[in-house]
Structure 1
Amino acid sequence: MATAALDTTKADSDERIYETDLPARLDRLPWGRFHTLLVFALGITWLLDGLEVTLAGSVSGALKASPALHLNNSDIGLAGGAYICGAVLGALFFGWLTDRLGRRKLFFITLFVYVGATALTAFSWNLWSFLLFRFLTGAGIGGEYTAINSTIQEFTPARFRGWVDLTINGTFWIGAALGAGGSIVLLDPQWVGGDLGWRLCFGIGAVLGLLIMILRLWVPESPRWLMIHNQPEEAARIVEGIEQRFLEHQAQLPPVTEKPLRLHARDHTPLGEVFKTLFVLHRQRALVGLTLLTAQAFFYNAIFFTYALVLTDFYGVPADHIGWYVLPFALGNFCGPLLLGRLFDVVGRRVMISSTYAISGVLLAVSGYLFQQQLLDATQQTLAWMVIFFFASAAASSAYLTVAETFPLEIRALAIAVFYAFGTGLGGIVGPSLFGALIESHDRSNVFIGYLIGAGLMVLAAVVQGVWGVAAEGKSLETVARPLSQAS
């Protein structure tokens, strides 16, 4: 087994410089039980987001009929916007804390915020209380994205990183299926129905969140984060413990051949350096990340926050049957990253990201035209969405992969937050509000215009990625983006 390679020296009286081979040792590991458990304990965040977003759509009919809330279509769109706004601000605040205080502390704090807020949503008594609790729920989920994505990428061996990241993001749709199934049962008048049904639906997330909190107790701090925060000995102890688990199961660990990193110890990265790195040093990567996240945010949130309104208002689907239409939709979204994800590591990031974005945009434009011409019934519309989002789900997941792996370790969580915030703020808040208003007009041509905007953004993103995207497949995170604390 390789040594910890922590020969510490003093560059001067105030600055510590040390060598470490820990990133290379993490990347050489085979896939094992440790990685599987890590994915389950942390990756389930996406499931929770899928649950929340689906519930917002599936219970929209019940929310409009609720004697306490009396929401209309515009209010439903506004609630979607409040959730996204919370996610944006939560990502920025908790993303900054994640890079400063550590991954582990924050994935407990953000989960606690989520559990409390989604439980309170079930007790909403009017429109404004509902909007407030949806905002706080979004803040918890937004913070989770930054802490979870950075942690998982920093533990995952480089050769698996693309497929793992996309598959985890795809679990959003397992949550969507759970939300749909829960709404089918709890909104059915023969089971619960009425005002109590939608309230119990939001309780599902709180219960799941408490179970997840227990699963996370065994997850260690990211060794890569510890390395740059003057705790190399603790980082070495964690990596040695992980390696020992593999050796106990007779796994063969190849020798480390990469040259050790030489790092300056630091306790935090000043915000001025953060923004200089994002928008000056890596300006081209910033443009790619912003474009990818904006396009997918508008595309997804515009459609998914309002799909129930399309089904009820244009196809006459009863509100308590919406959940049945979500299930095939969720299946296509989950299968896309699962089946296409390996190609992002084998064929490469640039080709696969561009292809999935372009295909999604073209298919949405075609299905939007068929919708506008009234050539689809409710089942055919759902099947069209299923095919579109088979590709769009992989595309959207790859956007998060891109912003997480193409920026330096010291600012990874905040980079995820900044581009998630910009992209979601531009595409995610505008999208649901715009589509809610377009659907309220009851004019298919107006809705088609919204679909064309989403399609155009996806095609534009495909072009930007094809020209300026980074080929990060199979490379260590430190190779893709040189650490800011790396010594010459």
Structure 2
Amino acid sequence: MFIHGRDREADELVAGIEAEVERDTGMRLERPRETITIHQRHSIGFGRIAHTMVARYPRRTVLGFSLFVGQAFLYNAITFGYAQILSTFYDIDTYTGYYFAVICVGNFLGPLLLGPLFDSVGRTPMISGTYVLSGALLLVTAWMFNQGMLNEVTLTACWSVVLFFASAGASSAYLTVSEIFPMETRAMAIAFFFAIGTAVGGISGPLIFANLVESGNPGDTALAFAIGATVMIVAGLVELVLGIAAERKGLEAIAAPLSAQAD
């Protein structure tokens, strides 16, 4: 709001939040220790935003791209053709939605229970850990499926565990791209990486997995799982190398606003 010239409204909004926090905690908040000079403007063009992401923060752009593509491939590897897998390998043609509901439980509990650790333990270890662990668990699931060790119940249980960790990591991808670029680009960054990630993982993923699942060969379906798992693990390794320690930091400290002026 301040960047766009709405000084009074911004001050009233923040003052209201601070007063509420002081009232709820019974403690006085410390005064800010740092200042920043802002060049106010009504809008920032898409060209400036795109240039900032690609030219100014290329490593962070690679990181965001990797995280979104990784989670897109893993989710497509598991969910694409799930009903067909149940029908082909376990003769279940009805009530497949109940199996999806079980997976959704694990998918929901992951971010709910693991979310606080992304601030306390740290972004990089948690993001890379959840990505690599979920990918590794899916590789184990693929091997067990190919060996005929799983039935419809145990396969669903395995996928629930995989998505428990994968969903926490995938959720963090949105958090990551919204905080590692200048604050003026936050919404655009999410839209950009979601579009690119969905285009790569959401289009090519199903095209790859469709023929593998439809073949009726357990080895082909296991290969589909393995592909999604491998891409997820690679994304986790990229986070390990390029990850940003953004926990407990202000957005201005992570990436200087485009409207900031040097003192």
Normalised to the residue count of structure 1, the TM-score between the two structures is 0.52
Aligned partner of residue 227 in structure 1, secondary structure: coil
Q: Among residues 65, 74, 77, which one is paired with 1:302 in the alignment?
A: 77
1:391 to 2:165 alignment: yes
- Equivalent in the alignment of 1:289: 64
1:353 to 2:127 alignment: yes
- Equivalent in the alignment of 2:151: 377
- What displacement does 1:275 show? 1.4
- What displacement does 1:301 show? 2.7
1:447 to 2:224 alignment: no
1:344 to 2:118 alignment: yes
- Equivalent in the alignment of 2:17: 242
Code of the residue aligned with 1:254 in structure 2: it is: L
- What displacement does 1:422 show? 1.0
Q: Among residues 165, 170, 174, which one is paired with 1:400 in the alignment?
A: 174
Verify the 8 A CA contact 1:302 1:428 in the aligned structure 2. Answer: no
Identity %: 44
Verify the 8 A CA contact 2:209 2:224 in the aligned structure 1. Answer: yes
- Equivalent in the alignment of 2:239: 465
Code of the residue aligned with 1:407 in structure 2: it is: F
Question: Distance in 2 between the 1:433 and 1:232 partners?
Answer: 51
Q: Residue deviations 1:375-431, cap 9 Å, x none?
A: 211001011111111111111111111111101011111111111111111011222
Verify the 8 A CA contact 1:340 1:394 in the aligned structure 2. Answer: yes
Code of the residue aligned with 1:445 in structure 2: it is: G
- What displacement does 1:370 show? 1.4
- What displacement does 1:250 show? 6.4
Question: Distance in 1 between the 2:203 and 2:77 partners?
Answer: 9
Question: Distance in 2 between the 1:268 and 1:461 partners?
Answer: 33
Which consecutive unaligned segments of at least 5 residues does structure 2 have?
none
1:256 to 2:34 alignment: no
Question: Distance in 2 between the 1:257 and 1:244 partners?
Answer: 15
Q: Between Structure 1 and Structure 2, how many residues are aligned? A: 262
- Equivalent in the alignment of 2:255: 481
Verify the 8 A CA contact 2:22 2:29 in the aligned structure 1. Answer: no
Aligned partner of residue 471 in structure 1, secondary structure: coil
Q: Residue deviations 1:276-318, cap 9 Å, x none?
A: 1101100000001100110101111332243222112221123
Q: Among residues 32, 35, 47, which one is paired with 1:272 in the alignment?
A: 47
Closer, same or farther: CA 250–414 of 1 in aligned 2, 3 Å: closer
Question: Distance in 2 between the 1:304 and 1:427 partners?
Answer: 13
Question: Distance in 1 between the 2:181 and 2:77 partners?
Answer: 28
Counterparts of 1:141-220 in structure 2, within 5 Å, are: none
Which structure's relative contact order is higher, taking Cα pairs within 8 Å and 6+ residues apart?
Answer: 2
Q: Let me know the Cα RMSD of the aligned residues.
A: 1.6
Normalised to the residue count of structure 2, the TM-score between the two structures is 0.93
- What displacement does 1:373 show? 2.1
Closer, same or farther: CA 340–234 of 1 in aligned 2, 3 Å: same
- What displacement does 1:484 show? 0.6
Which consecutive unaligned segments of at least 5 residues does structure 1 have?
1-225
